[in-house]
Amino acid sequence: MLSTDTLSAGSNVANRANRSQITRALLRLRELILTGEFEAGERLSELPLVERIGVSRTPLRLALAALEHEGLLRGLPGGGYVVREFTQADMSDAIELRGVLEGTAARFAAERGVSAREIRSMRAINGRIERLLTRTDYESFVLYMNANDEFHAKLLQLARSPMLERALEGITSLPFAGPSAFVLTEALLPESRTILMLGHSHHAALIEAIERRQGARAESVAREHARIAVRNLEVVTRHRELPAAFPGASLIALPTPAEREPA
């Protein structure tokens, strides 16, 4: 007869293997969707996905449900999922919501207080961003994107609010709503460099407001900072050859040139 310890150990191994399959399915499915392997509105069939990804049906179903929660898939009334399509209005709304949440994070950080060491850390990150803005090569934009994500993650950390962190994670899981969504597109557009410089100045103002414990000012700057992404979105819609430069572009229904013309 197997001992309780042996049964428990076997159960733990099985659970780890199942979690590994779920994670594998989730990451691979997200990658396939964001790289345009599936068209917006396309229904996802389980059996072909099981064979393509190499996981069993239960982990696949859990991964599909997770992607519906993220907003990349839409559940059908009779069961199953289709890839979601997003309009320009959807994108603008998601960016605005991110601004509201990041504004709240900035206010929390200012009102709750942060240490001098944390302020120095934010300034160091923004200093790296400033140095990268003097370069125009593709690698510098990748480094900028990483540093920018680090700055925003630090801001959220300083808010000290797990509840806010979970809410913001739901918004930024969408491919176009994160703080660095359009950076690699900007690498191809000289007109966007002024927007990047503005973003850097917003970072500096945020640090100052948090350091001085000016909650209302910190919130206002953070919300205005998020709206930079809307300006970048407008730039992208004027250059229809560029949306493929960022993940999830195939999910976005951009207006045609005729639709953009004023009535």
What is the pLDDT averaged over residues 209-218? 98
More confident residue, 261 or 126: 126
Residues 70-88: tens digit of each pLDDT: 888 999 998 899 999 888 7
Q: How confident is the model at residue 250 (pLDDT cuts 50, 70, 90)?
A: confident
Fold of 11-83: Arc Repressor Mutant, subunit A (1.10.10)
pLDDT at 189: 64
Sign of CA dihedral 254, 257, 262, 263: negative
Q: Which long-range contacts (CB under 8 A, 24 or more apart) does 137-141 make?
A: 138/187, 141/183, 141/184, 141/186, 141/187
Fold of 86-260: Four Helix Bundle (Hemerythrin (Met), subunit A) (1.20.120)
Return the domain boundaries, the chain: 11-83, 86-260
Q: How confident is the model at residue 101 (pLDDT cuts 50, 70, 90)?
A: very high
| Phi, psi (rounded to 5 degrees) for 54 | 85, 35
Residues 215-248: tens digit of each pLDDT: 999 999 999 999 888 877 776 666 655 545 566 7
